[in-house]
Structures are given as C-alpha cells and as structure tokens.
Amino acid sequence: MEAQTPPEPVLEAAIRIESHLEDADERSLADDVLDGLTRPFKEIPPKHFYDARGAELFDRICELPEYYPTRAEREILEQRAQEIAQLTGAAELVELGSGTASKTRVLLDALNAAGTLRRYVPVDVTESMVRECASELTDEYPGLYVHGVIADFERHLDRVPPAAGARIVAFLGGTIGNFPPGSRRRFLREIAALLGRDDHLLLGTDLVKDPAVLEAAYDDAQGVTAEFNRNVLRVLNRELGADFELDDFEHVAVFDREHEWIEMRLRARRAHTTHVRDLDLPVRFEEGEEMRTEISAKFTDARIDGDLSAAGLELVQRFTDSDGLFALTLARRRANAPARSSQ
C-alpha cells in the first residue's frame, strides 16, 4: 500500500484586499461636484486628485527640491523608527492614505527588526496603489500579512479590520492638514476609536514656517504641482463627462496667514461656462474667478496638542527633523477615554 502524503497545511494567504468603493465612490464625486460647484465660492475636495495619474504626480511632487515635507518626515523616521518600535511594540501597522508606502518601509524595517511586526493594513482610495504596495511589501518582508483596504477613510474607517495585536495607526505626510479644522478633529476622534489601550497614533504634520518657503513648496518651478492641481479637472472630465479645458485654469497657491494654511486654487483665465454632462450642470466661471481645490494646514505644537486633546488623545512623544520643518507625533488614548469601539 502506498504511503499517504499528509494533507498540505492550510496557509493564511499573505495578501487580502477589500474594496469598499465602486458605485458609492462615483456618487461621492457627483455629490461633491454638485455641492461644490454650485456655491458662490466654488470648491472641490482634494481626495479627487488621486486617480492613477494624480498619484503619480504626487510621487513626483515628493521628489521636488521645493517640496521638503517628504524628505523631512523621512529623516525623522530614519532617526526615530527604532525608538517608535520600542515605545509601541506594535504587531500591526494601519496606514491611512498609504499611497506608495515609501516612507512606511523605514517603520516596517524597525518593527521587523524588533521582531514584533505581523501585519500591515494600508488604507487608500487609489486601488492600484494598495494592490501594488501589498505585493511589493509581501515580497520585501517574508512572513508579513498585508490586509489592504481600498476605501475612503472619511466614510469607511469602520472597515479597518479588528486589531491583530498592538497597533500603530499611522497618518503620515501631513494629510491631516488637508481636512478643514472641524472635520479634522472629528476625524481624529474616529481614529481614536480605532485605538485600544496598547495602541498608538503616529501623526505627521507640516509646521508653520516662512510663507515664501511654503508657497514655493506648493508652486514649484517645474510646474508639477500645477499639473497635479489641474488633474482634478481631468478626473471630472473622465468620470462625470465634464468639458473642462485645462488650459483655461491657472494654478494658484497662497499661504493664508490667518488660518495658517496653504490654499490651492484654480483660477479661470477667461469667463466661460463648462458643462458637467452627467449632472446636467452648467457651471459659469468669471474671468479671474478662483475655485478652491485643497487646503493644507500648517501646525504649531499648540495646534497639534489642541487637536489631540479634542479627540481624547494624549501626547506620548513628538519628534522633528533637524531643520524643524515637520513633526511626527506619537499619541495614545487618554486614560479616561472609552476603550476601542467594539470591533
């Protein structure tokens, strides 16, 4: 009789990807456009920049000499990742707006070296980036599980899977600054609800500095940021059948000193009417009229602390780069805050 071969062990797949977008996402773009382009001061929320081309343009922005935040945040991570690994003992890294996860690798390296890392959970609206980064990271870190979540973090934070051990929720790059102040605090409260007693938030924030440095970072000499800004019009043309002529709009980036944020706008070079076919919506622009496409808030220590406190969080440690351009804040739930939401 032939010897029986033992059954193959059932291995958990290294990659799991879930998508929560599809129809709901198109509705959200349509709702945002209907809402934002019928106001006296027109506005389109920044999350619509990031189709595959927008994501690629953002990557190019990160390499620009004027755009210091990526380099500054990377420097902090390189200096402090080991300390963060020790302070958190994290088995899991959840990353909101993960993009290509290029800086994240510094943190993954440190958690891996500490021997605690088991799972990475990238959450992003751009499907291609979540999929690519999942396959790259499982190659680079043997034994790592990647649970990718393709989702709008403003609407689907409850789809982040239950924690698999002590977790860090990372929100890097200064993306928190792209929320208006009220929503920013609300969003931080929602993040706090993902944290248990052993978990931490790692928050990247760009810092207030010389307006000339800030404005250059958002209006680079090569015009990559201008292309990124106008890319939202391509998204509207493709997704909603709009007929924007990109050359009709000029890129504007100004530092608003009162609010301490950079505002990106698109300024109409001539008076004209565009049509958003799928919404049956004519949109009139006067010459020189500006439409807001992004705010990027800049922070002080007090602003960060105020936001953390309003969200039921407390500071563990704050790190900055050698030029004091950018801050990375490690925080946890305040002791008297309620425990992680029932997941």
Rule CB under 6 A: say whether 122 interacts with ligand SAH: no
- Helix or strand or coil: residue 43? strand
Q: Among residues 120 and 218, whose Cβ is nearest to ligand AVI?
A: 218
Is residue 304 within 8 Å of 188, Cβ to Cβ?
Answer: no
Rule CB under 6 A: say whether 326 interacts with ligand SAH: no
The one segment of 55-63, 194-202, 275-283, 325-333 that binds ligand SAH by CB under 6 A: 55-63
Q: How far is the CB of 127 from ligand SAH (least distance, A)?
A: 10
Cα distances (angstroms) measured from residue 306 to each of 74, 122, 208, 299, 313? 25, 27, 15, 11, 10
Q: Residue 294: name its binding partner from ligand AVI, ligand SAH, none (Cβ under 5 to 8 Å by kind).
A: ligand AVI
Among positions 8-47, residues that touch ligand SAH (CB under 6 A) are 47
Residue-wise DSSP of 106-149: HHHHHHHHHT---EEEEEES-HHHHHHHHHHHHHHSTT-EEEEE
Q: Which run of H or of E encompasses 307? A: helix 301-310
Q: Give the tokens for residue 17.
A: 């990807």
Q: Among residues 175 and 320, whose Cβ is nearest to ligand SAH?
A: 175
Q: How far apart are CA 41 and CA 147, in angstroms?
A: 40
The one segment of 124-132, 171-179, 277-285, 332-340 that binds ligand AVI by CB under 6 A: 171-179
Q: How far apart are CA 139 and CA 151, in angstroms?
A: 23
Rule CB under 6 A: say whether 173 interacts with ligand SAH: yes
Closest-approach residue to ligand AVI (CB): 296
Q: Among residues 69 and 145, whose Cβ is nearest to ligand AVI?
A: 69
Q: How far is the CB of 111 from ligand SAH (least distance, A)?
A: 17
Considering only 29, 50, 220, 274, the residue that binds ligand SAH (CB under 6 A) is 50
Instruction: Identify the DSSP state of 207.
Output: B
Rule CB under 6 A: say whether 61 interacts with ligand AVI: yes
Q: How far apart are CA 304 and CA 327, in angstroms?
A: 9
Number of amino acids touching ligand AVI (CB under 6 A): 12
Closest-approach residue to ligand SAH (CB): 173
User: ∠ at Cα 187 (181, 189), nearest 5°?
Assistant: 110
Considering only 104, 126, 175, 274, the residue that binds ligand AVI (CB under 6 A) is 175
Q: How far apart are CA 297 and CA 205, in angstroms?
A: 8
Is residue 59 within 8 Å of 214, Cβ to Cβ?
Answer: no
Rule CB under 6 A: say whether 178 interacts with ligand AVI: yes
Instruction: Identify the DSSP state of 6.
Output: P
Q: Among residues 178 and 274, whose Cβ is nearest to ligand AVI?
A: 178
Rule CB under 6 A: say whether 218 interacts with ligand AVI: yes
Residue 247 C-alpha from the chain's centroid: 28
Q: Among residues 146 and 268, whose Cβ is nearest to ligand SAH?
A: 146
Positive or negative torsion for Cα 95, 98, 101, 102: negative
Q: How far apart are CA 231 and CA 50, in angstroms?
A: 9
Rule CB under 6 A: say whether 177 interacts with ligand SAH: no
List residues binding ligand SAH (CB under 6 A). 47, 50, 55, 58, 62, 70, 97-99, 103, 124-126, 129, 152-154, 172-173, 175
List residues binding ligand AVI (CB under 6 A). 61, 69, 173-175, 177-178, 218, 225, 228, 294, 296
